[in-house]
Amino acid sequence: MRRPGDERDDAESEPPPLPLSWRQLYALVIGALAVVIAALAWLTERWR
Amino acid sequence: MRALDVAVLVATLAGLVGYGLWRSRATRDMAGYLVAGRQLPWPLIALSVMATQASAVTFLATPGQGYVGGLSFVQFYFGLPIAMVVLCATIVPLFQRMRVSTAYEFLERRFDGRTRTLAAGLFLLQRGLAAGVTLFAPALVLSVILHWDLRATCALLGLLVLGVTTLGGSRAIGHTHALQFTIIMGTMALAFLLALHALPARLGAGDAFALAGHLGKLNAVDTHFDPRGRYNLWAGLVGGLFLQMSYFGTDQSQVGRYLAAKSTAASRMGLLFNGLFKVPMQFFVLLLGVVVFVVYQFAPTPLFFDPSGAEVARAGPHAGRWQALEAEHARLSRERAGLVGDWLASRAAPAAVRHGRAADGLLRLRAADQAVHDSAVAVIRASSPAANTNDTNYIFLHFVLSRLPAGVVGLVLAAIFAAAMNSSSSEIHALTSTTIVDVVRRIPGAPTDDARLLGWSRAASVFWVVFAVAFAQFAGRSGSLVETVNQLGSLFYGTILGIFLCAFFVHRAGGPAVFFAALLAEAAVLACWKLDLVFWLWFNVVGCLLTVGLAALLSQLVPAWRAAPVPERIAD
């Protein structure tokens, strides 16, 4: 039974226009955020 | 303004409006007007999504925010990339599969017409008010520079936006957004480089960062948790996540942008692109404000950046006190310039010397100057209680007009106008779409043919522009513009998001349970605001969690308020 929000159909039938899967793209976005926050935390400490 | 600036401003705006009108020629039916025929590729969606959020407020008030409060405001956006991922994995494919024109259409299929009306009504209320602030920001620019009447300038801008939205609809908006956003980002990058160039020649980048850091402007991350604190990591990650999920998942001004995509993949790519680049973009806009702050450590600044506020004080009963404050501010500026030189020279010295007289003196002067500024605000307020007492929004303008060369000033002003047209056109189009799809089309006997609905849509656009212009008259008294917009949204976003989350995760909840839960949650949010219980970013969390929790509770307590056990009815 398909539930609201179930994305299997889209994820399988419509890949991203890049050589990455959707999961890899999501990980890229979250990973980039983590790097940016770490860099900004370093900036804050470095120039305090 | 110099002739070259006027020429650049007029030529850029004329080109943008002409491009928008040219792009609008293909819009002849409601599908084209509402969702651009669902034909736009992902790069256009990405730029349109970013352009919609990055209003003139972003480019006018955010550098001022960086000047006054440093980089701390960047934390506000930390929840955004996470929100993009969550939405791409959940709500975006569902909206695309259901072929809805507005987010609220979905709610009637999941719950009932009453819940759809409530969510659409909350959106119309908050976005209608926010549209006023979005129009006010650039109107302020022109009224200050050209000494135009502020109300007339608001009305003029409203007419420009009306031209794009009423004629072109979603397709023209998508295409003009891409062009305008490119111009805006190029102009801001140029302004950033020129701000760096305006630093004294003896000051290296390391010196500038050290000075900004010493004076507390490089405070990008604050890990201290305080529910009533303004900006910290936790408010940004948690409160920001809820705010951005609500904004991008349930606010029609954004949903309408990615519903115009030609596929689910294009919608997702547009949002993920935004998730990747939004935080760095905001960081650089704030950093621009910090660079301006460093530039002004070596140059005299006005006591109050809003010239109209200063005029009120000079002409009022406390003019003598104002003059004394101006003299004190000028003396502190001269003393600061000398101390900054001493401090820079001492940076190569041992720590004991480095943290000695000059360093302490700079901090003392900063506190003294803040006290003088506070006194100036008190004088303005005493001279005219109705006068503006917040000059944050004028700081970047002051820098542009006094420091940037001819031609670039016109370009920056054109970029601010373009940004205002971007976000306002999305807002007015979203208000129009919601009014037509969620209100007018549901009225018994309403027109069903495309030609008449297009006429109704254009009439609704006119109504919402007039509403926004009227509200803009009050927006300027509300403090920093960028905060005002988000604060207004936060009063309603949490509840709207809660309604949508119930649709996904509280399968037992039926329409009445969600409807009354949302009403109670909204009352609680308004109470939090009136009683000043928490910082406004947390309103999103309170509204959302209360809506979800109360809906689950009510559907448990009242069997008649439970949903029929057929969740697939909304998925097909």
Q: Percentage helix, strand, coil, to 5, in chain B?
A: 80, 0, 20
Whether the CB of A35 is below 8 Å from some CB of chain B: the reply is no
Provide the chain B residues 477-506 that lie in CB contact (below 8 A) with chain A.
503-504
**Token pair listed for B444:** 């018994």
CB contact under 8 A, B218 and A43: yes
Whether the CB of A32 is below 8 Å from some CB of chain B: the reply is yes
List, in sequence order, the alpha helices (H) in B296-407: 307-315, 319-346, 351-354, 357-383, 395-403
Q: Find, in chain B, the residue whose alpha carbon is nearest to that of A20.
A: B269
Which of B263, B48, B255 minimizes the C-alpha distance to B164?
B48
Stretches in chain B below the pLDDT threshold 70 = 141, 145-146, 164-166, 348-357, 474-485, 565-572
- pLDDT value of position B565: 63
Distance between CA atoms of B498 and B400, rounded to whole angstroms? 42
CB contact under 8 A, B110 and A4: yes
Q: If you ran DSSP here, which 8-state letter would residue B435 be given?
A: I
- In angstroms, the separation between the Cα of residue B387 and the nearest Cα of chain A is 36
Contacts with A15 from chain B: Cβ below 8 Å: 265
- In angstroms, the separation between the Cα of residue A18 and the nearest Cα of chain B is 10
CA distances from B176 to B46, B209, B358, B371 (A): 13, 37, 51, 45
CB contact under 8 A, B268 and A29: no
Collapsed DSSP state (helix, strand, coil) of residue A47: coil
Collapsed DSSP state (helix, strand, coil) of residue A4: coil
Is residue B4 within 8 Å of B407, Cβ to Cβ? Answer: yes
- pLDDT value of position B526: 93
Amino acid identity at B173: I
Contacts with A29 from chain B: Cβ below 8 Å: 81, 84-85, 272, 275-276
Write the residue in A9, A33, A40 that is nearest to B81 by C-beta.
Answer: A33
Whether the CB of A31 is below 8 Å from some CB of chain B: the reply is no
Distance between CA atoms of B51 and B180, rounded to whole angstroms? 8
Is residue B292 within 8 Å of B67, Cβ to Cβ? Answer: yes
Q: Can you give the length of chain A in residues? A: 48
- pLDDT value of position A2: 46
Contacts with A5 from chain B: Cβ below 8 Å: 90-91, 94, 504
CB contact under 8 A, B93 and A9: yes
CB contact under 8 A, B280 and A36: yes
Q: If you ran DSSP here, which 8-state letter would residue B564 be given?
A: P
B342 CB-contact burial (10 Å; exposed 0-12 / middle 13-18 / buried 19+): middle
List, in sequence order, the alpha helices (H) in B198-239: 205-214, 233-234
Mean pLDDT of chain A: 80
- In angstroms, the separation between the Cα of residue A32 and the nearest Cα of chain B is 7
Collapsed DSSP state (helix, strand, coil) of residue B103: coil
Which of B27, B1, B121, B133 minimizes the C-alpha distance to B483?
B133
ipTM > 0.90?
A: no
* Residues B289, B292, B296: CA angle, nearest 5 degrees: 140
Whether the CB of B241 is below 8 Å from some CB of chain A: the reply is no
Whether the CB of A19 is below 8 Å from some CB of chain B: the reply is no
Give the residue from B82, B87, B88 with the most A CB atoms within 10 Å of its CB, the best one to mutate: B88
CB contact under 8 A, B221 and A44: yes
* Residues B303, B304, B309: CA angle, nearest 5 degrees: 135
Neighbours of A12 (CB within 10 A): 9
Write the residue in B89, B213, B269 that is nearest to A16 by C-beta.
Answer: B269
Condensed to tens digits (0 to 9), the pLDDT of residues B131-161 reads: 887 788 778 767 876 688 888 888 878 887 8
Provide the chain B residues 335-394 that lie in CB contact (below 8 A) with chain A.
none
For the entire predicted model, the pTM comes to 0.85
Distance between CA atoms of B399 and B295, rounded to whole angstroms? 9
Q: Is the dihedral of CA B253, B131, B443, B510 positive or negative?
A: positive
- In angstroms, the separation between the Cα of residue B275 and the nearest Cα of chain A is 6
Distance between CA atoms of B463 and B431, rounded to whole angstroms? 10
Amino acid identity at B405: P
Backbone torsion region of residue B294, taken as left when φ is above 0, otherwise alpha when ψ lies between -120 and 50, otherwise beta = alpha
Whether the CB of B265 is below 8 Å from some CB of chain A: the reply is yes
Whether the CB of A44 is below 8 Å from some CB of chain B: the reply is yes
Write the residue in A32, A40, A48 that is nearest to B74 by C-beta.
Answer: A40
Q: Annotate B82-96 with b (16+ C-beta within 10 A) or e (fewer).
A: bbbbbbbbbbbbbbb
Max CA-CA distance within chain B? 83
Interface size A-B, in CB pairs within 8 Å, comes to 102
Distance between CA atoms of B299 and B334, rounded to whole angstroms? 8
DSSP for B477-496 reads TSS-HHHHHHHHHHHHHHHH
**Token pair listed for B264:** 């689910």
Condensed to tens digits (0 to 9), the pLDDT of residues B90-130 reads: 889 988 888 888 989 988 988 889 999 998 998 898 888 88
Condensed to tens digits (0 to 9), the pLDDT of residues A1-48 reads: 344 444 444 444 688 888 899 999 999 999 999 999 999 999 998 877
CB contact under 8 A, B504 and A4: yes
Contacts with A33 from chain B: Cβ below 8 Å: 78, 81-82, 275, 279
- pLDDT value of position B194: 95
Q: Find, in chain A, the residue whose alpha carbon is nearest to that of B282.
A: A36
- pLDDT value of position B489: 79
Q: Can you give the length of chain B in residues? A: 572
Mean pLDDT of chain B: 86
Measure the N-to-C terminal CA separation of chain A; round to a whole number of Å: 55
Whether the CB of B279 is below 8 Å from some CB of chain A: the reply is yes
Distance between CA atoms of B125 and B127, rounded to whole angstroms? 6
Whether the CB of B509 is below 8 Å from some CB of chain A: the reply is no
Q: Is the dihedral of CA B520, B525, B528, B534 positive or negative?
A: positive
Give the residue from B80, B97, B224, B268 with the most A CB atoms within 10 Å of its CB, the best one to mutate: B268
- pLDDT value of position B570: 46
**Token pair listed for B216:** 């507390």
Write the residue in B264, B272, B571 that is nearest to A6 by C-beta.
Answer: B571
